Amino acid sequence: MPFTLPLFINYPSSSDMTKDERQTLAKERITWRGDLSDDCSADWAGLLLRAEWMEKKWWWWCVYDMQDVNEEQIDSSNNYNMRWSS
């Protein structure tokens, strides 16, 4: 069975968030939305976190920097030679 994640208050990202604000928000719990057993996302400290349960076998995940004007991808499970399971 896929893992489940706790739900907490969500903090929207903002393009003019300061470094101090980001560090403060990074200490807060992550608020996930969507189906936590299949496809979910969360806004957290200026980042967008995404996860998707692929072929009922492993997790694909990605982290985007929402502070960057191009919303650049920071890291992804595609960058690793391993599967992420729960």
- Residue 60 CA to residue 66 CA, distance in Å, equals 19
| 32-85 confidence digits (pLDDT tens) | 999 988 999 998 888 899 999 988 888 999 999 988 777 888 999 999 988 888
Name, in order, each residue with C-beta under 8 angstroms of 27's C-beta and a sequence gap of 6 or more.
Answer: none
Domain ranges within the chain, ordered by starting residue: 25-79
The answer to whether residues 49 and 66 touch, using CB atoms and an 8 Å cutoff, is no
pTM for the predicted model, two decimal places: 0.67
